[in-house]
Amino acid sequence: MCRWANLATTAKATARPMPLHRLLLRKMALSAHQIPRWLNSIKLNGFISATQLRNCFQRPGKTWLHEFSAQPQLSSDNCFFQWGFKTYRTSSVWNNSSQSTNSSGQGINSPQSTMLPSVNEQSQETELSLEGLDHVPPLSPLQPVSEEEAIQILADPPLPPVTFTLRDYVDHSETLRKLVLLGVDLSKIEKHPDAANLLLRLDFEKDIKQILLFLKDLGIEDNQLGTFLTKNYAIFSEDLENLKTRVAYLQSKKFSKTDIAQMVRNAPFLLNFSVERLDNRLGFFQKELELNVKKTRDLVVRLPRLLTGSLEPVKENMKVYHLELGFKRNEIQHMITKIPKMLTANKRKLTETFDYVHNVMSIPHHIIVRFPQVFNTRLFKVKERHLFLTYLGRAQYDSAKPNYISLDKLVSMPDEIFCEEIAKASVQDFEKFLKTL
């Protein structure tokens, strides 16, 4: 039996058949010093196919070994073996088989050598003949490439080495791109030093999507998500179960779903606080202001920042109303339940407004308590209108006398209505008067 038959028999017994084109792709990863330089750049997937290999094997008048010894040339059928292995001998098996053939008096081109085995047997024989290549080191990553190869390389644009804006990362981050589509203003978020590190580490599907669905279920509309997340991007660092627990706590305190949605919109950081802190804040306002449960709940619904902001301004203003301005405890309760912002207003603004209304306009405490909106109005507006009414002789704020003007109308009406109904003058007259101030 010839050498090729022995090899085929051995391969059938010891190896699993492997398609020839896959075998060649795996075995051709040779280092530059072992095969010609030009062979490294060949894209094997582009021109190797089972049909082409079969055509090569079945070409009449030529043998497999003869093709391996052929000169490199291009033919119409683009046969892979015509690229040639003129000087390269793949293994000692081929050398031994050539020697045994020559010693037996049979040349390569003899009729017996043209009787090639089947394609499956060829793949088995090739596996045996190339098994010595398993220990060949891989190609070096520093191997130079030609200009044509370099043009075909597809690579993403590199990240900027140094940047001060998240805009440079939008093209590289799916999370940032989707946040921008939601209406998030990255120019405001990037002002916070920890924002970039947080957002660039997040995966949209795993870390962000569930939070967005939670906010929508809570009552945040699609057109409100961008504004909310711009202010409170840190909500993505919160555990979803903790967020649900805090909502459940507010519901246990009889806050309706509408109330909770309104509170979250007006105080975006509300859900970032633990249940313990929320409970302590509610207890503080109920005790400090001596309010019942319902009034306490109404107070924080109208001004939810009381639950998230500092308590120092609140404590300071309570002292100002009681000690400096002379209001009684029940009067303070009445004013802050009507105008909750009085608890967080600027201390200087409060004292200046009270001094002008009480000492200049001669309005007593009990009337100010009835119309606390005056503390929520700009002082220059109160001065301009009072001086204009004084000029017209209509500055009368005593409800027991005729032509009485309430503080509510004085500070809340637009200029046109104020001039027409209160001052009984035209807007042009009012504007001319203001130029004399």
Identify the sign of the CA torsion 95, 97, 98, 99.
Answer: positive
CA distance to 87, 123, 126, 260, 319, per residue, from 203 (Å):
54, 46, 47, 28, 49
Examine the domain organization and report whether 369 and 418 are in the same domain: no
Last residue of one domain, picked from the residues 361, 376, 391: 376
Examine the domain organization and report whether 322 and 348 are in the same domain: yes
**Rounded CA gap, 81 and 62, in Å?**
12
Last residue of one domain, picked from the residues 342, 376, 410: 376
Q: Could you tell me if 404 and 397 are in contact, meaning their C-beta atoms sit under 8 angstroms apart?
A: yes
Q: Could you tell me if 29 and 136 are in contact, meaning their C-beta atoms sit under 8 angstroms apart?
A: yes
Domain assignment of residue 60, yes or no:
no
Last residue of one domain, picked from the residues 376, 392, 422: 376
Examine the domain organization and report whether 365 and 391 are in the same domain: no
Domain assignment of residue 144, yes or no:
no
In the structure encoding, which two tokens stand for residue 202, read together?
Answer: 């997040």
Examine the domain organization and report whether 329 and 349 are in the same domain: yes
Q: What per-residue confidence (pLDDT) applies to 281? A: 93
Which of left, alpha, beta for 254 (phi over 0: left; psi -120 to 50: alpha)?
left
**Rounded CA gap, 90 and 423, in Å?**
109
In the structure encoding, which two tokens stand for residue 434, read together?
Answer: 């203001």
Examine the domain organization and report whether 367 and 325 are in the same domain: yes
Examine the domain organization and report whether 367 and 382 are in the same domain: no
Examine the domain organization and report whether 358 and 401 are in the same domain: no
Q: What per-residue confidence (pLDDT) applies to 25? A: 46
Domain assignment of residue 252, yes or no:
no
Domain assignment of residue 267, yes or no:
no
pLDDT < 50: residue spans in the chain: 1-15, 20-21, 23-27, 29-130
Examine the domain organization and report whether 354 and 391 are in the same domain: no
Domain assignment of residue 333, yes or no:
yes
Q: What per-residue confidence (pLDDT) applies to 137? A: 58
Domain assignment of residue 369, yes or no:
yes
Examine the domain organization and report whether 359 and 370 are in the same domain: yes
Q: What per-residue confidence (pLDDT) applies to 57? A: 44
Total domains, the chain: 2
Range of the domain at 340: 310-376
**Rounded CA gap, 361 and 310, in Å?**
34
Q: What per-residue confidence (pLDDT) applies to 48? A: 43
**Rounded CA gap, 13 and 124, in Å?**
10
DSSP 421: I
Domain assignment of residue 27, yes or no:
no
**Rounded CA gap, 327 and 365, in Å?**
7
DSSP 160: P
Domain assignment of residue 18, yes or no:
no
Q: Could you tell me if 22 and 45 are in contact, meaning their C-beta atoms sit under 8 angstroms apart?
A: no
Q: What per-residue confidence (pLDDT) applies to 401? A: 86
Examine the domain organization and report whether 366 and 402 are in the same domain: no
**Rounded CA gap, 392 and 388, in Å?**
6
**Rounded CA gap, 163 and 169, in Å?**
9
